Amino acid sequence: MKLFRIRGGVHPDPRKDATREKTIVDAPISAVLHLPLQQHIGAPARPVVKVGDHVLKGQVIAEAAGPVSATVHASTSGAVAAIGPVPVPHASGLAAPAITLAPDGKDTWAEPMPPLPDDAEPAAIAARVAAAGIVGLGGATFPSAVKLNLRERHKLTTLVMNGAECEPFLTCDDRLMREHAEEVAAGVALMARALGVGRTLIAIETNKPEATAAMTEAAALHPGIDVAPVPTRYPMGSEKHLVHTLTGLETPARALTADIGVVVHNIATAFAVYEAVKLGRPLVSRVVTVSGGAVAEPKNLRAVLGTPISDLIALCGGLTAEPQEILSGGPMMGQPLRSTDIPTVKGMNGILALLPSDTRRGPAHACLRCGTCVTACPCGLLPLEIAANIRNGNFDAAVSAGLMDCIGCGSCAYACPSRIPLVQSFHYAKGHIAAEQRVKQHNEEAKRLAQQKAIRQEKLAAERKAMMEKKKAAAAAARAAQEGTAEP
Amino acid sequence: MNPRPFVAGPFAHAGRTTPMIMSWVMIALTPATVFGLGLFGWPAIYLFAVTVASAVVFEAACLLLAKKPVLATLGDGSAILSGWILALTLPPWAPWWIGAAGAFLAIVIGKQVFGGLGQNLFNPAMVARVALLVSFPLEMTRYLAPRPIFFSGAPGPRDGLAITFGFGGHVDMDALTSASTLGHVKTELARGLPLHSVLADGADLLGLLFGTTPGSLGETSALLLLAGGILLLALRLITWHIPAALLLGILLPSSVLHLVAPDRYLSPAVHALAASTLFGAFFIATDLVTSPVTRTGQMIFGAGCGFLIFVIRTWGGYPEGMAFAVLLMNAAAPLIDRWVRPRIYGRDRKGRPLAVKTRETR
């Protein structure tokens, strides 16, 4: 198959050997499970249970609120112990609302949803995916049903299944494809049917030959689905770049891949779709790679949602040393965590406990203008120039130099010999600009309201004046009439 | 667990750092440097030591004045490297104050007044070399035939002190000097002599290749400089774009003119091997700070350097034009970076989003 070359990218040390041969192991149910109401992009789900309710595994405990939202299901049977804020996987370390379950230890499933037939209507498949609370499991966590319904607004030709898994350390998708190739392929076929596309490509980086072989065999049963080995180069898993590599089509800035007829879904999402459609099971668990230099025995664990990550790390023999950083996700784009006292959520594909030798953090030096970041950037940006503008407080210049086109992949900062925290600088600037816009919007709104009030008051005053004059005139007329009657 | 300071990713690094880059460039320069020091003996060793040490001292002084961390910044190795490169471009028996003044010009005027490493517009070593050449034309053009260390006729450690520092006796430099190949050709051509009689025995190409001709301290051996350059290329510390474009910029015009009028214009082989061509192509024009950041920009920059070197050597007032050419192109580098930019993904060259159109795939 002909592939198209994209610019930039880096070759980070893959570090996948620690877990790539580790079979997925089921993690036992923890003593307490916290299920955040927002494990997806969009509006938080709305709780439909009360404290004290007994729930079964797979039962809806919070339903999607609005078109872009996702339902949350009980991930085991037990009692609703609390509904309130708990620490969640977010860099801020702030708490967010969640439903806390006290498992009863029986792990009893609720009545499954009825399986859908192979010739189910596309809309029925999408509806089932929504009912199952499935979101993009590669980490993006966008509600999958919304993406499966893109056929309504876009002329779609191709489904790209992202099995690139370009982040170092992570092997959860690799293992899923190797151990559950048939289920994944069946899920892919269902998604292709929901989208109404004629062509489906399963993209797998060339460093996963076993997964490629397994998926090729499984995909042979489904016409129109092909496996496409793609070069091992970060960020191959970036949606727009993966589509470009496979099809040669470039997604315009600020547009979606759907605008060029392509939809991208993650391979783990396909497995969840299979379980939802064919087994009637909602999304209550996921595969998490637990790895990093500080983890005693790195593993791939299938954990029910809500499992505290401290339990997952303990299942891997605990930590051998104080980690420099604990991450949710891969080392390139993962989120640093402030504590291990947080639950496993839908988008969590990895828990990494990294040592200084993994992060290779060090002192920053002055920018040499060496251009390494320019060569590394997959988006054709000049990271050094954007960062210099940000440093000088010149945010407008940073934006016109392409700040908003940055996908935050971190290739520039990874390659920078002066270790300049480029991504941090871009995040800071984006946050600053967003805050500025909020203030601006707020001020404009206040100004508009003040103006309206002034207009309103003027009108009122005018009305009052008119009324007074009318009254005065009426009084004068009455007086005149009275005088008139008195005169003769 | 202790709260961690908020940092954004990536939590991985390629591992190549600025101090490492500087160290590798020094390693790549070592063969040509050791050869040059051996070839010109003790005075060259003293001059080299004075220049590098002065560079470090001036850098430290500037950092102290600017209240910047001294040891951490010195540790990036850039001051040593600037001094080193400058020393290699000096006449090997130049007096100590040439090296010290050069280090001042390079580090203080060429780099620190701009704000330190990464902020300078011009290549510090070339700023120093040009300023010295213009200010002290006599000292800066006293080249001499090689007198390899430990061979008869070579100055010993004490003679060297006399030559470099003027201690314990005076050495009549004028009696010792001889012209470099390019200098000789320039002078003789200016007298109206045809090339075949100027270079009666043909140009000493082997001498230029192995470095046994008069010239600057570290610029004489084309072969060793080439080896260093290949090391840098192999380590991907530099890419081929600037060296290749620079060499083409010299070789193309010189080949054409040499074919048209072989008696007036030097052959491309002499241009390629003489003086600082290879030194400039691999070690000077490739300076990360003062060259463009894009590949295309680097090719334009390299070609411009090469062509200007050729023009200055052929028609200019100086026999050698590397330093002038590089400085001129340094001045153009910001302009090149402004004009030659990569296309932003999903946008056209003017920065507008590409048109949205649904196309059929193959």
In this prediction, residue B183 carries a pLDDT of 78
Mean pLDDT of chain B: 86
Nearest-CA residue of chain B relative to A358?
A: B12
Q: Is B153 on the interface with A (CB under 8 A)?
A: no
Cα distances from B244 to residues A70, A368, B214, in angstroms, run: 57, 22, 26
Are residues B223 and B209 in contact, defined by beta-carbon separation less than 8 angstroms? Answer: yes
pLDDT in tens, chain A (488 residues): 889 999 999 999 999 999 999 999 999 999 999 999 999 999 999 999 999 999 999 999 999 998 999 999 999 999 999 999 998 887 677 889 999 999 999 999 999 999 999 889 999 999 999 999 999 999 889 999 999 998 888 999 999 999 999 999 999 999 999 999 999 999 999 999 999 998 999 999 999 999 999 999 999 999 999 999 999 999 999 999 999 999 999 999 999 999 999 999 999 999 999 999 999 999 999 999 999 999 999 999 999 999 999 999 999 999 999 999 999 999 999 999 988 999 999 999 999 999 999 999 988 888 999 999 999 999 999 999 999 999 999 999 999 999 999 999 999 999 999 999 999 999 999 999 999 899 999 999 999 999 999 999 999 999 999 999 999 999 988 888 887 665 54
Contacts of B287 in chain A (CB under 8 A): none
pTM assigned to the model: 0.87
Residues forming a β-bridge with A289: A300, A350
A residues 366-405 lying closer than 8 A (beta carbon) to B: 366-371, 374-375, 377-382, 384, 400, 402, 405
List, as ranges, residues 333-372 from A with C-beta within 8 Å of B: 333-334, 336, 338-340, 352, 354, 358-363, 365-371
Q: What is the ipTM of this complex?
A: 0.85
Residues on chain B touching A338 (C-beta within 8 angstroms)? 1, 3-4
Task: Please report which confidence band the pLDDT of residue B168 belongs to, taking 50, 70 and 90 as the band edges.
Answer: low
Is A258 within 8 Å of A154 (Cβ atoms)?
yes
pLDDT tier at B218 (50, 70, 90 boundaries)? confident
d(CA A345, CA B82): 53
B contact residues 218-237, partner A, Cβ 8 Å cutoff: none
**How high is the pLDDT of residue B190?**
75
Give strand pairing partners of A354.
A325
Distance from CA of A81 to the nearest CA of B (A): 26
| Cross-chain residue pair B344–A405, CB shorter than 8 Å | yes
**Spatial separation of the C-alpha atoms in residues B135 and A307, rounded to whole Å:** 75
Q: Please count the CA atoms within 13 angstroms of the CA of B362 that sit on its side-chain side.
A: 9
Looking at the complex, report in whole angstroms how far the Cα of residue A122 sits from the nearest Cα belonging to chain B: 21
B294 touches chain A (CB under 8 A): yes
B78–chain A nearest CA distance, Å: 10
Nearest to A417 among B9, B11, B16 (CB): B16
pLDDT of residue B359: 46
pLDDT confidence bin for B1, thresholds 50/70/90:
very low
Q: What is the pLDDT of residues B93-108, one digit of tens each?
A: 899 999 999 999 999 9
- Domain segments of chain A: what residues? 16-29+118-291, 372-428
Q: State the pLDDT confidence band at B275, using cuts at 50, 70 and 90.
A: low
Pick the CATH number of A16-29+118-291 from 3.40.50.920, 3.40.50.11540, 3.40.190.10, 2.130.10.10: 3.40.50.11540
Q: Judged by CB atoms within 8 Å, which residues 420-449 of A form the interface with B?
A: 421, 423-424, 427
Confirm or reject contact between A53 and chain B (CB < 8 A): no
Q: What confidence tens digit (pLDDT) does each residue in B300-354 have?
A: 999 999 999 999 988 887 878 889 999 999 999 999 999 999 999 999 988 889 9
DSSP string of A270-310, one letter each residue: HHHHHHHHHS-----EEEEEEESTTBSS-EEEEEETT-BHH
Find chain B residues with C-beta within 8 A of A361's C-beta.
Answer: 11, 13
B120: pLDDT strictly greater than 80: yes
Q: What is the pLDDT of residue B201?
A: 57
Q: How far does A50 lie from chain B, in Å, by closest CA?
A: 33
Which pLDDT score, from 0 to 100, does residue B357 have?
63
Q: Which helix (H) or strand (E) holds A161?
A: strand A158-163
CB atoms within 10 A of CB A482: 10
Q: How far is A420 from chain B (nearest CA, A)?
A: 11
Could you tell me the pLDDT band of residue B361, with boundaries at 50, 70 and 90?
A: very low
Tally A–B CB contacts below 8 A.
192
B3: pLDDT strictly greater than 90: no
